[in-house]
Chains A and B, each alone.
Chain A
Amino acid sequence: MDLNPCMKHQLIRKTVREFAENEIRPRAAEMDKGPGFPDDLMEKMKPLHYFGLQVPGHLGGADLDTVSYAIVVEEISRVSAALGLCITVHNSVGIYPILRFGTREQKQQFVPPMAAGESIGAFCLTEANAGSDAGGVETVARETAHGFVINGTKIFVTNGGICGTILVFAVSDSDPGKPGVFIVENHTPGFSVGEIEDLCGMRANPVASLFFEDCAIPADHCLGIPGQGLKIGLTALDTGRIGIAAQALGIAQAAFEESVSYAQARQQFNKPISRFQTIQNYLADMAVQIDAARLLLYRAADVKDTGRPFSAEAAMAKLHCSTTARMVTDLAVQIHGGYGYSREYDVERYFRDAKVTEIYEGTSEIQRMVIARHILTRPT
Chain B
Amino acid sequence: MKILTTVKKVVDVELNIHVENGAIMEKGLQYVINAWDENAVEAAVQLKEAHKAETTLVSLGSGDNTDIIRKCYAMGIDNAIHIDDPALAKADSQIFARVLQRVYEAGDYDLVITGKQAQDTDAGQAGIMLGEFLGIPCVSNVIEIKVTDDTHIQVSRLGDAGTEIVDLTLPAVVTVSDSINEPRLPAMRGIMMAKKKKITVMDLAGLGTSFEEVGGTARKSEIVEFMAQEKRKGGRKFEGDPAEITAKVVQLLVNEAKVL
Residues of A at under 8 Å CB distance from B?
7-8, 10-12, 15, 18-19, 47-50, 53, 57, 61-65, 68, 72
Contact = CB atoms under 8 A, between A and B. Distances in A.
B189 interface: yes
7 contacts: A7-B66, A11-B71, A48-B185, A62-B188, A62-B189, A63-B192, A68-B191
B188 A7 contact: no
- Interface-central residue, A11, A18, A57, A61, by most chain B CB under 10 Å: A11
A107 B185 CA distance: 28
Given A62-B192, A64-B192, A68-B192, A8 B70 contact: yes
B231 to A, nearest CB: 19
B120 interface: no
A116 B195 CA distance: 22
A366 to B, nearest CB: 31
Interface SS majority for chain B: helix
Interface of B: 66-67, 70-71, 74, 185-189, 191-192, 194-195
B189 A63 contact: yes
B67 A7 contact: yes
Contacts of A72: 188
A11 B191 contact: yes
Contact of A61 (B185, B189, B191, B194): B189
Contacts of B71: 11
B188 A12 contact: yes
Contact of A57 (B67, B189, B191): B189
A57 B188 CA distance: 11
B192 A11 contact: no
Contacts of A61: 189
A49 B188 contact: yes
Contacts of A15: 74, 185-186, 188, 191
Q: Which 8 A-B pairs have the closest CB atoms?
A: A62-B188, A49-B188, A62-B189, A48-B187, A8-B195, A49-B187, A49-B189, A7-B67
Residue among B70, B74, B188 with the most chain A CB within 10 A? B188
A61 B185 CA distance: 16
B191 A8 contact: yes
